[in-house]
Amino acid sequence: MSAADRKTVHVAVGMVVRDGQILIAKRQDHQHQGGLWEFPGGKVEPGETTPQALVREFQEEVGLELAPEHMTPLMQLPFDYGDKTVLLDTWVCEHSQGVARGCEGQVVQWVAAAELDDYSFPEANAALIAKFRETEKDVEQ
C-alpha cells in the first residue's frame, strides 16, 4: 500500500515545559516505534481539537493537567514512516499541574532541551526538536 493509499493519523504532540525542562516518555516495546522516546500525546479523536486531545491524553498517559489557554502551536509535520503516515500536530505548553508519572507503565522523565540529543526519538522528532530550539532562542533574545 502506498503512502497515498494510507489514512493519515492526526497525532497531538505536547512539549510540556516546566522549570526549563521538557517532559519525555519512553514508548513501550509493543508500540509503534517502541523503545524510543517521545513527547507525550496521542491520536486526535473526531470532533476534538488538538488542545482538547492534549488535555485528555496528558491526563490519561502521564497524570498532568493542562489548560488549552496555556498552549501555543509549534508546528504541524506530516511524516511517512513507511508503515504508517502521521500528522504530528505539535504544541508547547509552559504550564501544567500535577506530578508526571507513567500511568500506562511507561518511563517518563524531565530533561533539559540541550539533553534531548542524548535520547533516541522516532525520526520525525528531529524536526520538532529543531523547531522548538529555534523558538526558544527567539524567546531568549
Domains of the chain are 8-140 (3.90.79.10)
Please say whether the beta carbons of 10 and 87 come within 8 A.
Answer: yes
Q: How far apart are CA 31 and CA 122, in angstroms?
A: 12
* Residue whose cell numbers read 500511568: 103
Number of residues that this document lists for the chain: 141
Evaluate the CA torsion angle 55, 57, 62, 63 in order and state its sign.
Answer: positive
In order of 21, 38, 134, 136, the CA distances from 140 in angstroms are 15, 25, 10, 6
Q: How far apart are CA 15 and CA 21, in angstroms?
A: 10
On the question of pLDDT at 25 being above 60, the answer is yes
pLDDT of residue 139: 47
In this structure, of 7-16, 76-85, 90-99, the range with the lowest mean pLDDT score is 76-85
Tell me the three state secondary structure of residue 67: coil
pTM of the full predicted structure?
0.88
Tell me the three state secondary structure of residue 112: strand
